[in-house]
Amino acid sequence: LRQWIEGLNPNEGVQKGLVSLPSILCGPCLLRCLNVWPITADKKYIDDPNNPQWYSDAVIGKLGEENYDCDTQVLSIKTPVSTIVRQASMLLYLKMAFSGFPGLSESPIEIKDVIKNLINKQLSEKTKFKPYPESPLSIFVTFKHDSSANEHLFLSTMQGTPLKLRTVRQKRMRVTIGDSRESIVKAIESITPDENYPCPPTSPKDGDIAEIESIETKHSSIYIGGRYVKLERNISQTPFIVDGRRICELSISECIGEPLKRLTLADNYNFVGAGREDADVRMLGDGRPFYVEIMNPRSPHPAPEDLSAVEKELSEKGSDTKIIKEGEQEKRKCYSALVWLANPLSTEKLAELNMKYATQKFVIQQKTPIRVLHRPKTIYSMKITPLSGHFYQVELDTEAGTYIKEFIHGDMNRTRPNFGEMCESVADILELDVER
């Protein structure tokens, strides 16, 4: 390294703007000194597209397996922790050995950026995936170097450094924590040159090089929205599982999410509805708005005809679910409920309630099942139609988010006023439909 630097003729080079310390540190000279990535300073060797030393073949292989419909990527590199210590050690050595060299105060380019640029060069030449910082496709490459994995631990023995290690038990194993990359960087920054610091760093044995620990790829989520109509009862919005046992055989989220997952070749999905109805409640009218977050899709641009095919598949599945794609959510909901009253309403009482609440709105106070707080909700109209004996059909136009079942039976007086209270009778709800 000393011979190479002294041969640069730095005064002439710096005057011409050709040489600075950061350019030295980011070059193959430093990588060779670290002996983690064994290359030479021969430019032809670095630029050789058939050179396997930059691990690009493994990354290309991973992209081939995943088969993303995308032509850009953003690459992230995580180097072994030892490279943090070794780069700082080399920089410290240069500052002490070449104190008059121009550019010593400048920050060096990170080793991971050098590696990233070289891998990106190979990806650009061998694949369709061009580097682009705003790309929806991210590639994460993590390297390991087992023989130098513990080189940073000496920092914890130095006085005044912020690196404090402790041993804890995790999953029945004793592990050391406190040596995060951030803690190591802070510890290095607190060290002075006269301390016991390996400078320049010692080289591992020849052939002992860094290995790829993992390659992960992830495409940003896409979102597909619409409306669903539920024409049958006993279908939950999301999987309804209690104590490991499935309560409802079907769920809206699976009926819609699974075909979209297959269409986009995604890892998973997250179904989000604009509110929810109980499993035994139908969803009629224009349907309930929803969107599905499609996670890590390999085919993120589904054609309109493919989405139409999914709609058709859902509609022809039976009377389970149906997607209706247009419309915006309203802040009011209309319900139709089949209600039982212990004491049937007299003709006079029925006429009084219908006359009073057919067009006159009223506010109820409800306590939620978890938070013991009042949540006022407005009921804009209520119409009661007698069916037979103790049974009535109750039509309600309410503010979205009103607990209808609790309004009918009162929920042990947690909802006031409630339907039973208005009718001066014990009331219960047997069926409930969301009309719109």
Just list the catalytic residues.
Answer: 278
Residue 251 pairs with which residues in a beta bridge?
A: 236
- Nearest Cα neighbor of 379 from 396, 403, 366, 356 is 396
Q: How far, in Å, CA of 348 to CA of 360, rounded?
A: 18
Helix axes 252-264, 304-316, angle to 10 degrees: 150
**Interacting residues of 15 by C-beta distance below 8 A, sequence separation 6+:** none
* DSSP codes, 172-226: TEEEEES--HHHHHHHHHT--TTSS--SSPPP--TT---EEEEEEEEEPPEEEEE
Hey, how many other C-beta atoms are within 10 angstroms of the C-beta on 334? 17
Using CA atoms in the order 293, 233, 340, 382, what is the torsion angle rounded to 10 degrees? 50
Residue 391 pairs with which residues in a beta bridge?
A: 340, 388
DSSP state for residue 51 in the 8-state scheme: -
Helix axes 56-66, 111-126, angle to 10 degrees: 60
SS3 (DSSP) at 279: coil
- Nearest Cα neighbor of 426 from 360, 345, 369 is 345
How many helices, marked H, and strands, marked E, lie in the chain? 14, 20
Helix locations, 245-336, DSSP H: 252-264, 304-316
Residue at 187: amino acid letter = A
Residue 351 near residue 343, CB atoms below 8 Å = no
Q: How far, in Å, CA of 235 to CA of 232, rounded?
A: 7
User: H or E segment at 415?
Assistant: strand 415-416
Residue 251 near residue 269, CB atoms below 8 Å = no
Residue at 252: amino acid letter = I
Place of tokens 């802070």: 186
Residue 420 near residue 408, CB atoms below 8 Å = yes
Q: How far, in Å, CA of 280 to CA of 370, rounded?
A: 22
